[in-house]
Structure 1
């Protein structure tokens, strides 16, 4: 069994990260994850707040049964699934993200993935989109938790980094204009690294694909 990562610090950081809240409320960036050495990872707030794009459509087409979107952000996928009559729930530690999802017509809860959740062990599809395999800074712990959430024979769709990377770092949400949130653990995982974490946590890679510059892997129990 893999121990849970330092989620409390991550939850506080996202919840209290004013640059993130402000960006979601405005529906636009700039917004970044800033590493301790100053390296910046751009966060695509405008895409998150828009309707699903072509890459998202490839994920939506693979969703079966009840869907749990972990780290749903402003809820574009939850809302799209609801519009198709699919049962879907988003969870996010940011009240601003949950509020935006609900106002757009989706269903969402302000929860960490490591909190008790509805229908544990009965979700047919679990989503970790937009780099959310990084939640908590411990991919193995997150994959183990996802295995507890999904139904037997269910699937997990993970959006990985485009690069062949496997790193665990401390980052801050940064608006590029002087506004920064508190530090929290995060990880970046490419397709190859995801495969190395998958089988020890009960997952088997099934399909890998990319659309434009975004990369996805579907895993099964």
Structure 2
């Protein structure tokens, strides 16, 4: 991450793991003031929808799904014979990804990862631009992971927001684990952070969402980014542990199918009282 010290994410807390194992909520991110951000567990644990497929059609080369959750995107790519790897900090997420035919590692995006600098596409869908609570730091890190002509596909909130919050995972009957940083950004904010981190917009689009999936929003929104040419991309300032050679060796071993998210928020739903 950047120079700021970030606390370890707590997506491994029981409510999140339990929700992924059952394939259903309720599940929320709870702010310190008690407001709740509903999470779309049923959608994540289902098959790909039209919006997901619109992003997958734009993927080129090997695909890295950052904060893969229960693995629907990784599994869909694998079923097409595509090379894809998911990463998630939740062992339950990685295990479910493996169970449906995907490959995943239980690892943070800020840890050493296989094939850094060679991925053709990286995905930050389902609100995963919020990982770590610092969109600029996350965009800098993804620049290190992708090949020079690689593409980063980001899902943004439907609302024009730019907020950083401290949250806990909540299963509907109380929060579990400590607070961790999270962010929510709309397309205008994403483009500002992207410009600062050496990215240029290549395409933006939206896909209508079924009302039963997202009653708060009529669409899901996406932006494809590519690294600017003829410009040095700033390097992220991650923890010293990321340069540890032993960890790097482990990261470059083949993906295991036993299982980042400081994961997942609903990209378009505002934090609301419940």
3-state SS of the aligned residue for 1:130?
coil
Looking at structure 2, the residues matched to 207 and 45 of structure 1 have their Cα atoms a distance apart, in angstroms, of 28
One of 14, 17, 30 as aligned partner of 2:11: 14
Looking at structure 1, the residues matched to 224 and 157 of structure 2 have their Cα atoms a distance apart, in angstroms, of 14
1:33 aligns to 2:48 (yes or no): no
Looking at structure 1, the residues matched to 189 and 164 of structure 2 have their Cα atoms a distance apart, in angstroms, of 12
TM-score by length of 2: 0.77
CA contact (8 A) 1:5 1:138 kept: no
1:139 aligns to 2:135 (yes or no): yes
Aligned pair count? 217
1:166 aligns to 2:162 (yes or no): yes
Q: Which runs of 5+ in 2 are unaligned?
A: 209-218, 228-274
Looking at structure 2, the residues matched to 104 and 4 of structure 1 have their Cα atoms a distance apart, in angstroms, of 38
1:220 aligns to 2:226 (yes or no): yes
Q: In the alignment, which residue of structure 2 is the partner of 1:73?
A: 69
Q: Which runs of 5+ in 1 are unaligned?
A: none
More contact order relative to length (CA 8 Å, sep ≥ 6): 2
Looking at structure 2, the residues matched to 205 and 36 of structure 1 have their Cα atoms a distance apart, in angstroms, of 34
Looking at structure 1, the residues matched to 121 and 52 of structure 2 have their Cα atoms a distance apart, in angstroms, of 15
Which has the higher mean CA deviation after the structures are superposed, 124-133 or 174-183? 174-183
What is the CA-CA distance between 1:32 and the residue it aligns to? 0.7
Looking at structure 1, the residues matched to 21 and 153 of structure 2 have their Cα atoms a distance apart, in angstroms, of 27
TM-score by length of 1: 0.95
One of 169, 181, 194 as aligned partner of 2:190: 194
3-state SS of the aligned residue for 2:37?
strand
Runs of 4+ in 1 over 6 A off after TM superposition: none
Closer/same/farther in 2, CA of residues 83 and 7 from structure 1, 3 Å limit: farther
Looking at structure 2, the residues matched to 7 and 128 of structure 1 have their Cα atoms a distance apart, in angstroms, of 19
1:51 aligns to 2:50 (yes or no): no
Q: Deviations over 1:115-160 (max 9, x none)?
A: 0000000000000010000000000000000000000111000011
Looking at structure 2, the residues matched to 43 and 170 of structure 1 have their Cα atoms a distance apart, in angstroms, of 16
What is the CA-CA distance between 1:4 and the residue it aligns to? 5.5
Which has the higher mean CA deviation after the structures are superposed, 206-215 or 63-72? 206-215
1:109 aligns to 2:97 (yes or no): no
Looking at structure 2, the residues matched to 200 and 63 of structure 1 have their Cα atoms a distance apart, in angstroms, of 24
CA contact (8 A) 2:30 2:175 kept: no
Looking at structure 2, the residues matched to 118 and 9 of structure 1 have their Cα atoms a distance apart, in angstroms, of 21
Q: Deviations over 1:91-117 (max 9, x none)?
A: 000000000001111000000000000
Q: CA RMSD in A?
A: 1.2
One of 119, 126, 129 as aligned partner of 1:123: 119
Looking at structure 2, the residues matched to 5 and 200 of structure 1 have their Cα atoms a distance apart, in angstroms, of 17
3-state SS of the aligned residue for 2:8?
helix
